Amino acid sequence: MILIVCTSLACRTVVRVMAADLLQAEMLVGPSSSYWPNKFTCPTCDGAATGLLEGEVDPNTFKGFNVLELEAEEMFRSLQGLGLPEEQDCRLEVLHEVMRQKIKLIGGHSIGGTKRFCLEWLEMEDGTKLYFGASSHGATIYRIVNNTSYTNRVLQEGKQDVG
């Protein structure tokens, strides 16, 4: 198996890449890929990550780490900016829930020589980000990233314990 290890000590994420087709996994995210060994990004924090072969590492090294198990194709999609599988649920019901909040930040860029703006993402007041892309049907939301900061998780858990 292939491991993708975040280099951030604060993040502590390890992705264990699962694959039925080992050749395909090697081509997408393994030693035969253009990412190997140190051109990966962490799917959790977007920081730098390094690829390792599982057999080369003592399994105890990653005790206490956040271990994600992804198929090779899922990891490859994440490297292309499409996010984790749970971030790709962008149905109308999900959008209704997210859009009940106020917009905190708008990301994108001005289009030179025009009075137009290219919208790339919206950040809501709870830190959730909606990522936009263009399609022949109009603007497409292709990724919703929930705020997963440690502080917010502790606050949410505290609210659940009190209630």
The domains of the chain are located at: 2-82, 89-162
**Over the stretch 72-93, which tens digit does the pLDDT of each residue have?**
999 999 999 888 999 999 999 9
**Over the stretch 8-58, which tens digit does the pLDDT of each residue have?**
888 889 999 998 888 889 999 999 999 999 999 999 888 999 999 988 888
Distance set, CA 25 to CA 9, 55, 76, 107, 146 (Å): 26, 16, 9, 33, 28
**Over the stretch 103-146, which tens digit does the pLDDT of each residue have?**
999 999 999 999 999 999 999 999 999 999 999 999 999 999 98
SS3 152: helix
Sequence-separated (6 or more) residues with CB below 8 Å from residue 117: 108, 109, 110, 111
Overall average pLDDT of the 46-71 stretch = 88
Kindly provide the residue ranges of all beta strands, DSSP E only, lying in 7-153, ordered along the sequence: 13-18, 40-41, 48-53, 66-71, 103-111, 116-124, 129-135, 138-145
Predicted confidence at residue 148, as pLDDT, reads: 57
